[in-house]
């Protein structure tokens, strides 16, 4: 990769994936117009749609494309519960595509910003006195360990009963590497790290906390606050302002980050970055939203925000990433909404997926034209 020429894999995914991806990739055209940058976008099949076309949710050709690029932009994958039954269990998109993608590139660090500016605070279902100046949390989720990646067994036991066994597995290296990421982020931000665990029940959390007590010696300026995951779920609703950086294991992060979308007002406001040692991919935190697919009403903020994170974290184009964030937020701050964030009778103008994309690109064009 030369410093201004980048190859990016584009995995549209399923459900609303293609609709929101169509808006997100427009960012690259606007950037090319204003900056000496070149982006080669390479589309590849991934998810349920890939399975129906090729028999594999993560086809070999897609693996080769992903291996060859500087970064991967991925739309959500998956089908409704009923439609998923048409795919063999091991090829269903999470097991057949997402987990193998994460394992292939060891994308152990998942960054999930839960952000709502003060001027967008009206989108939150929380009361104004709870939201105050908005929400600004960075949730860091371990992404390649724990229950989702542990050994699995299913069968019939000696009594003739069907049983299942899934293991929550971590070694100390997996724990320390994600904790280092979290401490480094806390150092750059408010120097407070909330460690979310369940050490009163799970011995995996006991080891996690032991490792934390070793790792924290490298970051004497960061204050650590411990919180049990169940209490954290309540605290996110009652007092989100207490949090800055939060770190947790895989499944806790999956669940609490969706709650993060809830306190913002919609999962459509939740982009994410999945970072490994040599490769990263970027995706909305949410799923394929089959209930609204094909209706041109999905909120593309999460997908466009994932482009902003890609520009910032993989391509080191911080100013351009910042311009993308400002463009998106300015649309909402100007009084517009998308269908997920406001009821129909709210009196605000509700934009379609495409109209939101148009307004963001117009604003981005304007910002990048300004010397
Ligand atoms: P979901 O996240 O797709 O949707 C939950 C709710 O949020 C729905 O009401 C949906 O309409 C809404 N929503 C989500 N994104 C939105 C957006 N951008 N704009 C407006 N509204 C939005 O969760 P689900 O329905 O439980 O799952 C659907 C499928 O997605 C399942 O197959 C699931 O396995 C899969 N999934 C995939 C990923 C991923 O690709 N990383 C993550 C989670 C779920």
Catalytic residue among 51, 74, 115, 254: 254
What's the Cα-to-Cα distance from 166 to each of 151, 152, 162, rounded to whole Å? 6, 5, 14
pLDDT band for position 329 (cuts 50, 70, 90)? very high
112 lines ligand 1 (CB under 6 A): no
With vertex at residue 106, the alpha carbon angle to CA 105 and CA 112, rounded to the nearest 5 degrees, is 100
302 lines ligand 1 (CB under 6 A): yes
Contact 13, 75 (CB under 8 A): yes
Question: What's the mean pLDDT when you consider all of the chain?
Answer: 97
Q: Is 230 a catalytic residue?
A: yes
Q: Is 168 left (phi over 0), alpha (psi -120 to 50) or beta?
A: beta
Q: Which residue has 């204003």 as its token pair? A: 34
pLDDT of amino acid 347? 87
Alpha carbon of 289 to ligand 1 centroid (Å)? 4
State the closest ligand 1 atom to the C-alpha of 298, by its place in the atom list counted from 1: 19
pLDDT of amino acid 28? 98
Give the fold, CATH level 3, of 114-136+145-268: Isopropylmalate Dehydrogenase (3.40.718)
Q: What is the pLDDT of residues 112-141, one digit of tens each?
A: 999 999 999 999 999 999 999 899 999 999
Alpha carbon of 200 to ligand 1 centroid (Å)? 32
pLDDT band for position 189 (cuts 50, 70, 90)? very high
Q: Does the structure show a pLDDT above 80 at 328?
A: yes
The CATH architecture that domain 1-107+276-371 belongs to is 3-Layer(aba) Sandwich (3.40)
Calculate what percentage of the chain has a pLDDT beyond 70.
99
142 lines ligand 1 (CB under 6 A): no
Q: Does the structure show a pLDDT above 80 at 1?
A: no
User: What helix, strand, coil percent values describe the chain, rounded to 5?
Assistant: 45, 20, 35
Task: Write down the domain spans for the chain.
Answer: 1-107+276-371, 114-136+145-268
Q: What is the pLDDT of residues 288-325, one digit of tens each?
A: 999 999 999 999 999 999 999 999 999 999 999 999 99
Exposure pattern of 189-210 as b/e (b: 16+ CB <10 Å)?
eeeebbbbbbbeeeebbeebee
Report the distance separating Cα 330 and Cα 313, nearest Å: 22
12 lines ligand 1 (CB under 6 A): no
304 lines ligand 1 (CB under 6 A): no
Q: Is 258 a catalytic residue?
A: yes
H-helix or E-strand containing 194?
strand 192-197
pLDDT band for position 3 (cuts 50, 70, 90)? confident
Report the distance separating Cα 214 and Cα 210, nearest Å: 7
Alpha carbon of 288 to ligand 1 centroid (Å)? 4
What's the Cα-to-Cα distance from 311 to each of 166, 279, 314, 316, 324, rounded to whole Å? 37, 13, 6, 6, 9
State the closest ligand 1 atom to the C-alpha of 289, by its place in the atom list counted from 1: 3
Catalytic residue among 70, 136, 258, 355: 258
Beta bridge partners of 284: 271
CB count within 10 Å of CB 41 equals 14
Q: Do domains 1-107+276-371 and 114-136+145-268 have the same CATH topology?
A: yes
283 lines ligand 1 (CB under 6 A): yes
47 lines ligand 1 (CB under 6 A): no
Q: What is the pLDDT of residues 40-90, one digit of tens each?
A: 999 999 999 999 999 999 999 999 999 999 999 999 999 999 999 999 999
pLDDT band for position 370 (cuts 50, 70, 90)? confident
User: Ligand 1, from 288, 302, 353: best to mutate by most atoms within 8 Å of Cβ?
Assistant: 288
Nearest to 110 by CA among 282, 260, 305: 282
Alpha carbon of 342 to ligand 1 centroid (Å)? 18
Question: pTM for this one?
Answer: 0.96
User: Ligand 1, from 57, 58, 72, 78: best to mutate by most atoms within 8 Å of Cβ?
Assistant: 78
pLDDT of amino acid 240? 97
Report the distance separating Cα 95 and Cα 75, nearest Å: 16
341 lines ligand 1 (CB under 6 A): no
């Amino acid at each position: 990769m030369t410093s201004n020429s980048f190859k990016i894999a584009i995995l549209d995914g399923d459900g609303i994936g293609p609709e929101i991806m169509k808006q997100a990739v427009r960012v690259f055209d606007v950037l090319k117009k204003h900056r000496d940058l070149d982006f080669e976008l390479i589309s590849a099949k991934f998810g349920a749609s890939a399975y129906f076309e090729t028999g594999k949710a993560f086809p070999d050709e897609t693996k080769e494309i992903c291996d060859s690029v500087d970064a991967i932009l991925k739309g959500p994958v998956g089908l409704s519960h009923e439609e998923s039954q048409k795919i063999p269990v091991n090829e269903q998109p999470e097991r057949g595509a997402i987990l193998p993608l994460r394992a292939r590139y060891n994308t152990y660090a998942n960054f999930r910003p839960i952000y709502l500016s003060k001027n967008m605070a009206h989108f939150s279902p929380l009361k104004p006195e709870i939201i105050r100046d908005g929400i600004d949390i960075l949730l860091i989720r371990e992404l390649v360990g724990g229950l989702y990646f542990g050994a699995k067994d299913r069968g019939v036991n000696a009594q003739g009963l069907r049983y299942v066994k899934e293991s929550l597995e971590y070694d100390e290296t997996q724990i320390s590497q994600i904790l280092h990421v979290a401490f480094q982020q806390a150092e750059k931000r408010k120097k407070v790290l909330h460690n979310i665990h369940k050490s009163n029940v799970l011995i995996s959390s006991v080891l996690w906390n032991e490792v934390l007590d070793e790792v924290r010696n490298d970051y004497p300026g960061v204050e650590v606050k411990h919180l049990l995951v169940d209490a954290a779920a309540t605290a996110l609703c009652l007092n989100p302002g207490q949090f800055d950086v939060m770190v947790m294991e895989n499944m806790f992060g999956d669940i609490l980050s969706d709650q993060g979308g809830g306190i913002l007002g919609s999962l459509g406001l939740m982009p994410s970055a999945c970072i490994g040692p040599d490769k990263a991919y970027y995706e909305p935190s949410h799923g394929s939203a089959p209930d609204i697919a094909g209706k041109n009403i999905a909120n593309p903020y999460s997908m466009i925000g994932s482009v902003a994170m890609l520009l910032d974290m993989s391509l080191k184009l911080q100013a351009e990433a910042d311009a993308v964030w400002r463009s998106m937020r300015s649309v909402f701050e100007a009084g517009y909404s998308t269908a997920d964030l406001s009821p129909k009778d709210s009196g605000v103008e509700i934009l379609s997926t495409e109209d939101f994309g148009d307004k963001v690109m117009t604003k981005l064009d304007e910002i990048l034209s300004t010397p």
